[in-house]
Amino acid sequence: MNYPVFDSEYGEDFLKAITKLRNGEEVAEFMSDMFTPAEARTFVSRWKAAKMLSQGTPYVEIQKQTGLSSATVARVSQALQFGTGGYRKVLERLKRR
């Protein structure tokens, strides 16, 4: 694995734990236990930004709707364009549903 934040026994174990969750409710329960409400809101806002960016929404509109800083929106955009492809994979899979 070439993702430094997960490149440890516990990082890999965390990723395996997520794959064991069976449905959205289990994911929500796990995430609610794992993260503070503020952390969860941040993740949701970043996800919303990724979806909006993939639809061509301007940065300023994304900032208004999410409350994210321009730097965070730019970071999400960079990840969409040049990252590992994680956002794109999930966005594509959700389109197919």
Phi/psi for 12 (5° steps) reads -65, -40
Cα 19-28-52 angle, rounded to 5 deg:
90
Place of tokens 């999400």: 76
Q: Are 59 and 74 in contact (CB under 8 A)?
A: yes
Give the pLDDT confidence of 33-58 residue by residue, as tens digits.
999 999 999 999 999 999 999 999 99
Give the pLDDT confidence of 18-28 residue by residue, as tens digits.
999 999 999 99
Which token pair is 71?
Answer: 């730097």
Q: How far is CA 45 from CA 7, 22, 68, in A?
A: 26, 24, 7
Go through the domains of the chain in sequence order and give each one's CATH number.
1-34 (no CATH), 44-97 (1.10.1270.10)
